[in-house]
Structure 1
Amino acid sequence: MSATKTGLRVAVIGGGWAGCAAAVELAHKGLHVTLFEAARSLGGRARGVEVQGKMLDNGQHILLGAYKETLKLLKRVGVDPRAALLRLPLQMRYPAGSGGMDFVAPRLPAPWHMAIALMRAQGLAREDKLALARFTTSARWMRWGLNDDVPVSVLLERFDQTERLIRLMWRPLCLAALNTPPERASANVFLAVLRDSLGAKRAASDMLVPRLDLGALFPVAAARHLEAKGGAVHVGAKVGALARAGAGWEVQVGADWHSFDAVVLATPPTQAASLLAPLGETAIAGQLDAFEYEPISTCYLQYDATVRLPLPFCALLDAPDDGRFGQFVFDRGQLDPEQAGLLAVVVSAAGAAAALDQDALAAAIARQLAAALGLPGLATPLWTRVITDKRATFACTPGLARPGNATSLPGLVLAGDYTASDYPATLESAVRSGQGAATAILAYARLPRENSSLSHAAGGTAAGSVQ
């Protein structure tokens, strides 16, 4: 694989959102990039899958208007965010009559959008609204952070949040954003998410629901863009080992070895650790091996095409002990007319749900939908499919040590939503980490090969952090 006139040959190992972001950024700067992905499709834990002839997602996602880098990157690879994403105001809405609440921000400048939303909110008592107002005011005063991280449940107790507000807003938001129960979730990471939703400008707080499957939304377009820039994309290409070779790197794919000047390691943490440990990078490998994980289940239920929810998506009251596992339901038909009658129900931190037989879980969710929406027919879908990722995200616990992009190995950097950031494992943190990795590679490219050290080039910092 020969270098082009424009610069280094870089191997990007892993075709998830972080790897694709790194590849696009490096190709944009004129480097020759080769992307290796072990699976047969790109996207990693945010990809499209075919189910019953429909392109769905391995997990339903919501983005925020604050995801500036993701939105810019979509445009760079030729995806129009206005067409690809349904933009909705910040909201937490439950089906009418389900015992939940109705909280939706009007399209007014901040902070009036939040003030009016709180004043108009249905299903919250006066003490609930006062508690929410106190919390957001105090969080602003604290600059959305604590000196000493604690579990989210402790944070909520400190600020006298009501039981009802916790049940209807804080707990579901924590589960959706951090995929970690409030009793174990990092308050500082949760506050960072709230900073960019409840505490942000109105446009930044908007909720963006993909109309396209997650593969088409970015990874597929990224591959086309990369190839148009002279790069190469190899799927079904598992990297088995890395080896230092002079000032460069050798990458083993199957029985073959390929030469590169630098490497972006954008695999999941466990695979990254297995590739790093033989190279002597035992500190980072040990850090990654220590991560704990939380599952996410998404249950797809197909009904007659005439079935339509009152909203594109709404929250559900979950109670796993009573067989109610779903936390949010999405009407895919309102996102894509070709998917009329298809509902997607998300279960975050889905340990109890993942332990069930898939058919039993789907049946329980169908009964939950029928009761919550007051539509008995929803108990009997035409077909169902449950997709569970048992390692969907790392458990976002207080004070969790996450590595930066840099390693001690010249020319080798990390990329992934697990790298150091004040965000949890989101698409935005993956994109920013990929961009941070690309920045470190570009800094390395400007150094003399014999004296270069990527840890110095990157400053040893968390280049993927959200600002």
Structure 2
Amino acid sequence: MKYAVIGAGWAGCSAAVELAKRGHQVHLFEAARTLGGRARQVSSHDLMLDNGQHILLGAYKATLALLSTLGINQKTTLLRLPLQMCYPPDSGGMEFIAPKLPAPWHVAVALLKASGLTRADKMALMRFSSTARWMGWQLNNDCSVAELLHRYDQTDNLTRLMWQPLCIAALNTPIHRASAQVFLNVLKDSLGAKRAASDMLIARTDLTSLLPQPAAQFIEAQGGQVHLGCAVHSIEKNTEWQLNFQQTQANFDGVVIATSAEVASNLLAPLNMAEHIPTFEYEPITTCYLKYATDIKLARPFLALVERPEHSAWGQFVFDRGQIEGEKAGGIAAQAGLFAVVVSTSQQAIEHGHAELAFNCAKQLAVDLMRPELAVPEWSQVITEKRATFACTPGLVRPANQLPVSGLVLAGDYTESSYPATLESAVQSGVLAANLLM
């Protein structure tokens, strides 16, 4: 069969690979010149950065399976770290690192040894974990994460240092608006599964090089084609599915729409199916890159930061890209001295512009790490994805991958899933869409 996939983000790439793997002729269309969608490479200051810093989890089975299909050596392309939440010393945070023990003992021992948490904090966390397991990680009625934490008497300190950062990192939605059920789904597949499922995986390369580019090579090796800078203007149903471009058209046996929800809705409107996709609210994510001398490092590959909006300290995590990349044979890492400060739900943080945010992030690092030299980086680069994820609110209805017509399906992290808008949900949706199409 001859199939078209519209959109070469992680959902589109996974759908195209799944179709090509089954022996079908695949054409992958991407309007931009770069593969990866909202998780892609960006060139800046002679370095290949990402439009946003991501953490994968060992629980991301679909993503890891896709990397295996593409022949990606995960030991060299991913830095695997144990579950941890570590703040700079004396910054008012905590230190929690899971040892290499079978689940759930890895969490229990980490909690026992954790610093920065009181006995009341630790008892609250143990109580929450035990209750969540007993409930099967399911709620009768969805509510906000804040309400869930209040219901199970989670302390203010534990909420501030652990639950709130985890929720924002996973759902990119503040705890008073975030879906408790989706948050529990993420916790179930990480904290509630085998120890390796809770491991944190960080790409040593840029995100386009990690998966989308190998996916394109795989598709072409199977006889398919990848078309960059090629926007699909409309879709028509004749005897086959017709894709219309600026100056030409092409026919296919089936189509996967793996674009953003808005673009998908526009493509479906002439087919009277736009109502299949609801209107979403969106949350931005901003990554502030700060470059220092090559000998400047963090104590760990990444650290959590105490967010203090009242002092314009917006950063929630900082990543040492040099440590993550690792030293190259015969020299230092290309990104040595490069830090990436992540600000999720960053609408308020970017109100006064990127330059001020970069200044505030550098100041935050200087204060929290007690290293005054960090206040003055060599250069900075701030990247904001204004529609990074949908707001993952309680009871949110997400569209099914299957459309009410044969030969046309949806893929994307916004489609029906137990996960929030993550790379894993994008890959899962792509695989599901491809199988529905076939």
TM-score by structure 2 length?
0.98
Partner of 1:335, secondary structure, is helix
Residue 385 in structure 1 maps to residue 381 in structure 2: yes
Aligned to 2:284: 295
Residue 124 in structure 1 maps to residue 117 in structure 2: yes
Aligned to 1:448: none
Aligned to 1:464: none
Residue 431 in structure 1 maps to residue 427 in structure 2: yes
Residue 278 in structure 1 maps to residue 274 in structure 2: no
Q: Displacement, 1:356?
A: 2.3
Q: Displacement, 1:197?
A: 1.9
2: CA distance, partners of 1:53 / 1:237: 27
2: CA distance, partners of 1:157 / 1:322: 26
Correspondence list, 1:243-258, <5 A: 243-246=236-239, 248-258=240-250
Query: Unpaired segments of 5 or more residues in structure 1?
Result: 1-7, 443-467
Aligned to 2:308: 319
2: CA distance, partners of 1:321 / 1:234: 47
Cα pair 2:288 2:342 within 8 Å, conserved: yes
2: CA distance, partners of 1:236 / 1:436: 26
Which of 227, 232, 235 does residue 220 from structure 2 map onto? 227
Residue 396 in structure 1 maps to residue 389 in structure 2: no
Query: Unpaired segments of 5 or more residues in structure 2?
Result: 326-332
1:299 corresponds to which letter in structure 2?
C
Q: Displacement, 1:78?
A: 2.1
Correspondence list, 1:181-220, <5 A: 181-220=174-213
Give the length in aligned residue pairs.
431
2:432 corresponds to which letter in structure 1?
G
Q: Displacement, 1:354?
A: 2.4
Instruction: Give deviations 1:306-365, integer Å, cap 9, x for gaps.
Output: 100000001000122210000000000001221000000000011111222111000000
Aligned to 1:263: 255
2:144 corresponds to which letter in structure 1?
P
Instruction: Give deviations 1:349-393, integer Å, cap 9, x for gaps.
Output: 111112221110000000000001010000000000000010000
Cα pair 1:61 1:209 within 8 Å, conserved: yes
Aligned to 2:344: 348
Partner of 1:338, secondary structure, is coil
Correspondence list, 1:23-102, <5 A: 23-102=16-95
Cα pair 2:243 2:250 within 8 Å, conserved: yes
Q: Displacement, 1:283?
A: 2.4
Q: Which has the higher contact order (CA 8 A, sep 6+)?
A: 2
Correspondence list, 1:100-111, <5 A: 100-111=93-104
1: CA distance, partners of 2:36 / 2:217: 14
Residue 335 in structure 1 maps to residue 324 in structure 2: yes
2: CA distance, partners of 1:138 / 1:409: 43
1:304 corresponds to which letter in structure 2?
A
Greater alpha carbon shift after TM alignment, 224-233 vs 354-363 = 354-363
Residue 365 in structure 1 maps to residue 361 in structure 2: yes
Cα pair 2:82 2:199 within 8 Å, conserved: yes
1: CA distance, partners of 2:225 / 2:351: 40
1: CA distance, partners of 2:117 / 2:427: 37
1:292 corresponds to which letter in structure 2?
E
Partner of 1:385, secondary structure, is strand
Q: Displacement, 1:76?
A: 1.1
Cα pair 1:295 1:354 within 8 Å, conserved: no
Cα pair 2:80 2:200 within 8 Å, conserved: yes
Aligned to 1:415: 411
Partner of 2:334, secondary structure, is helix
Partner of 1:18, secondary structure, is helix
Q: Displacement, 1:250?
A: 0.4
2: CA distance, partners of 1:147 / 1:266: 32
Partner of 1:378, secondary structure, is helix
Instruction: Give deviations 1:244-284, integer Å, cap 9, x for gaps.
Output: 012x2000121211111100000000100111111011321
Q: Displacement, 1:227?
A: 0.3
Aligned to 2:330: none
2: CA distance, partners of 1:52 / 1:74: 29
2: CA distance, partners of 1:34 / 1:107: 44
2: CA distance, partners of 1:45 / 1:354: 19
2: CA distance, partners of 1:106 / 1:440: 41
2:416 corresponds to which letter in structure 1?
A
What CA RMSD, in Å, does the superposition of the two structures yield over aligned residues?
0.7
Identity of aligned residues (%): 58
1: CA distance, partners of 2:18 / 2:351: 40
2: CA distance, partners of 1:335 / 1:54: 15
2:321 corresponds to which letter in structure 1?
R
1:317 corresponds to which letter in structure 2?
V
TM-score by structure 1 length?
0.92
2:368 corresponds to which letter in structure 1?
A
